[in-house]
Amino acid sequence: MSTHILWLIGRRLAAAVLTLLIVSVVIFAITAILPGDSAQQILGQFATPEQIEALRQQLGLNQPAIVRYLDWFGGLLSGNLGESMTNNMPVTELLQGRLGNTLMLALVTSVVSVPVALLLGITAAIYRGGRLDKCLSTLTLALVAVPEFLVATLAVLIFAVKLRWFSALSYASDVTSPLAFIRTYTLPVMTLCFVIVAQMARMTRAAVVDQLDSSYAEMARLKGLGNLRIALVHALPNAVGPIANAIALSLSYLFGGVVIVETIFNYPGIASLMVDAVTNRDIALVQACTMLFCSGYLLLVLIADVSAILSNPRLRTR
């Protein structure tokens, strides 16, 4: 690997870190510079001004915003995410118990959705303009706009209520056997996959079609290569960058999707924890969850960028 590549990757990494910094400022600004503050929140509306003042002192709320931000951000770096007010326990502990569940859900969803989407997208691109392509295009076009809770309610209705194949609620702790695993994960994963697969398949198709429209693809046709070979051997390697990007974007959409899905299926993950935190205005917890999701997003985009760089011989062999 050349130093040039390392330099390019280093630059992407630096950009991601900078973005994360800005994100942290934005999140802190929204959550910490608000009219009603947490002291009021904790003590309730009947607290005397003195009590509130005392608590404010104790929580350090009287310090300037910049000091509080640095405090908070320093805590993030050292793994101290603060204290959850509603649960009366450190945020780190709360997250630890649930992070694994959400990651598991995301992992299973990715493992199912990525191959399916790539297969659909590439197939549609190869048979571009044909009946299969038209059907897939219309179907995915419709599916990208379907709200998760519609998919989820219909899925529960059909598979849990009518057919009684799976349970309507998913407790990750129930998983003791492969069968239980399937029972627990099928419905949430299916719900998440619907939208993501549609989105990813569309973007994959577009990326491959873009390459199939290029001069070198025409040249390949004119030197007597078949459609399949042109698509797989010629177009696909050049579409790696855009496809990686499509996967990253779609998977990041998953972060939005889990919020709904975990709530509907009562799945004990971070997203449902966050929804509760928002309802209870448990600011430290909200901040931590958001930072976690944003880091996840930036990591995905970074991976996509790096694979785009590595797949480009123009950059690889300078």
Partner 1 sequence: MTELLHVKNLRVNARGGAGEIEIVRNVSFSLGKGEVLALIGESGSGKTTIALSLLGYARHGCRIAGGEIWVDGTDVLSLDDKTLQQWRGHRIAYIAQSAAAAFNPSKRLLDQVIESALLHGVGSRAELERKAVELFRDLALPNPETIGQRYPHQVSGGQLQRLMAAMALIADPLLVILDEPTTALDVTTQVEVLQTFRDAVKRRNATAVYVSHDLAVVAQMADHIVVLNGGEIREHNRTERILHHADDAYTRSLLGAARPHGKPKAVTRLPAEAEPLLSIKGLIAGYGKPDSLGLPASRILEDIELELRPGQAIGIIGESGSGKSTLARVVAGLLPAARGKVRFRGEELPGQLSQRSAEQFRRIQLVFQNADTALNPMHTVGTLLGRPLKAYFGLTGKAQRQRVLELLDQVRLPHTLIDRKPGALSGGQKQRVNLARALAAKPDLILCDEVTSALDTVVGAAILDLLAELRRELGLAYLFISHDISSVRALCDDVVVMYQGHQVQTGSTSALLEPPAHPYTDLLVRSVPELRQGWLEENRDLARLELPALDDYQDNGELCTFLDRCPKRINGLCNSTAPGRKTLSSGSVTLCHLDEEAMLPLLPVLAQPSAQEPRLYKVNG
Partner 2 sequence: MSTSVSNPSRTSALPRITSPWRSVGAVVCLFWLVMAVIGPWLAPHDVGQVVSDDIFGPLSAQYPLGTDYMGRDMLSRMLVAARYTVGLALVAALLSSMIGTFIALAAAVSPRWLEDGICRLMDALIAIPSKMLALVIVAGFGSSVPLLIITAIIGYAPGAFRIAYSLAASLYTMEYVQVAQTRGESRLYIALREMLPNMLNPVLADLGLRFVFIVLLLSGLSFLGLGVQPPDADLGSLVRENIGGLSQGAAALIAPALAIGTLTVGVNLLIDRISSHRNGR
Which residues in this chain contact partner 2 in the complex, by CB under 8 A? 18-20, 22-23, 26-27, 30-31, 34-35, 134, 138, 141-142, 144-150, 153-154, 156-157, 161-162, 168, 252-253, 255-256, 259-260, 263-264, 274-275, 277-279, 281-283, 286-287, 289-290, 293-294, 297-298, 301
Within 235-254, which residues bind partner 1 (CB under 8 A)? 237-238
Q: For residues 292 and 258, give the distance between their C-alpha atoms in angstroms, rounded to a whole number.
A: 14
286 interface partner picked from partner 1, partner 2, none, CB below 5 to 8 A per type: partner 2
- Kindly state whether residue 312 participates in binding partner 1, applying the rule CB under 8 A: yes
Q: For residues 105 and 262, give the distance between their C-alpha atoms in angstroms, rounded to a whole number.
A: 9
145 interface partner picked from partner 1, partner 2, none, CB below 5 to 8 A per type: partner 2
142 interface partner picked from partner 1, partner 2, none, CB below 5 to 8 A per type: partner 2
Nearest residue to 235 (alpha-carbon basis) of 76, 144, 123, 82: 123
CA atoms 155, 156, 159, 163: torsion sign: negative
Task: Kindly state the smallest distance separating residue 223's Cβ from partner 1, in Å.
Answer: 3
141 interface partner picked from partner 2, partner 1, none, CB below 5 to 8 A per type: partner 2
Q: Is the CB of residue 212 less than 8 Å from the CB of residue 242? A: no
Paired tokens of 291: 């930072």
Task: Kindly state the smallest distance separating residue 3's Cβ from partner 1, in Å.
Answer: 18
* CB contact set of 233 (below 8 Å; sequence gap of 6+): 225
20 interface partner picked from partner 1, partner 2, none, CB below 5 to 8 A per type: partner 2
294 interface partner picked from partner 2, partner 1, none, CB below 5 to 8 A per type: partner 2
Task: Kindly state the smallest distance separating residue 249's Cβ from partner 1, in Å.
Answer: 22
Query: For 284, how many CA atoms within 13 A lie in the half-sphere containing its CB?
Result: 26
Residue 9 vs 225, nearer CB to partner 1: 225
Task: Kindly state the smallest distance separating residue 10's Cβ from partner 1, in Å.
Answer: 18
Q: For residues 130 and 124, give the distance between their C-alpha atoms in angstroms, rounded to a whole number.
A: 8
Q: For residues 44 and 51, give the distance between their C-alpha atoms in angstroms, rounded to a whole number.
A: 11
Q: Is the CB of residue 151 less than 8 Å from the CB of residue 247? A: no
- Kindly state whether residue 124 participates in binding partner 1, applying the rule CB under 8 A: no
Binding mask 160-199 for partner 1 (x = CB under 8 A): ----------------------------------------
Q: How many CB atoms lie within 10 A of CB 146?
A: 14
- Interface residue with partner 1 among 4, 11, 134, 229 (CB under 8 A) is 229
Residue 220 vs 260, nearer CB to partner 1: 220
Nearest residue to 288 (alpha-carbon basis) of 275, 272, 274: 274
Task: Kindly state the smallest distance separating residue 50's Cβ from partner 2, in Å.
Answer: 26
Binding mask 205-224 for partner 1 (x = CB under 8 A): ---------xxx-xxxxxxx
Paired tokens of 209: 């079609």
Q: Is the CB of residue 192 less than 8 Å from the CB of residue 258? A: yes
Q: For residues 308 and 318, give the distance between their C-alpha atoms in angstroms, rounded to a whole number.
A: 16
Beta-bridged to residue 83, according to DSSP, are 90
Q: Is the CB of residue 91 less than 8 Å from the CB of residue 291? A: no
Q: For residues 265 and 168, give the distance between their C-alpha atoms in angstroms, rounded to a whole number.
A: 6
The stretch near partner 1 (CB under 8 A) out of 9-17, 67-75, 226-234, 269-277 is 226-234
Task: Kindly state the smallest distance separating residue 27's Cβ from partner 2, in Å.
Answer: 6
Q: Where do contacts with partner 1 occur on this chain (CB under 8 A)?
A: 214-216, 218-226, 229, 234, 237-238, 311-314, 317
